[in-house]
Amino acid sequence: MASEATRCSVRGCSRAAAYRFVPGKHDAGARCHWHALSYRPVCGRAIIVALIVGTILMVINQADVIVGGHLTTLVVAKIGLTYLVPFSVSTYSALAANRLGGNEPMQRGGG
């Protein structure tokens, strides 16, 4: 059985912790996969990154199509993906940086 330190510290959750964030007022900072994904600082930062980076990329890639009035379903889907990619990268980076165990950088072989 896992020790208390390896359990999600969110009240009512008994899943194994996979991530550790800065301890808060109501928990010790250990979070399971679900609670790490829905952790407000991680989601909030990812949304801000997605809005800034996604808007820059959308303007670079799709502004001419939008201004020209040639907006299609395919272009709308591309715009959605343009925002989804930086959101996903930001979320992944935050989770990878706070993962319990295995945080060491990958070692390359050679010599």
Residue-level pLDDT at 1:
42
Residue-level pLDDT at 44:
96
The answer on 90 and 65 residing in a single domain is yes
Residue-level pLDDT at 20:
92
Residue 61: partners with Cβ closer than 8 Å, 6 or more residues away: 78, 82
Q: Whose CA is closest to 26, among 40, 6, 47, 37? A: 40
The verdict on residue 105 lying in a domain is no
Residue 80 is which amino acid?
G
Domain limits for position 75: 39-100
Mean pLDDT by 10 residues, the chain (111 residues): 68 93 82 93 96 97 93 95 97 95 49 42
Task: Count up the domains in the chain and report the number.
Answer: 2
Q: Please check whether residue 50 is in contact with residue 83, taking contact to mean a CB–CB distance below 8 angstroms.
A: yes
The answer on 90 and 57 residing in a single domain is yes
Residue-level pLDDT at 107:
42
The answer on 92 and 76 residing in a single domain is yes
Residue-level pLDDT at 93:
96
The verdict on residue 107 lying in a domain is no
The answer on 19 and 58 residing in a single domain is no
Residue-level pLDDT at 102:
53
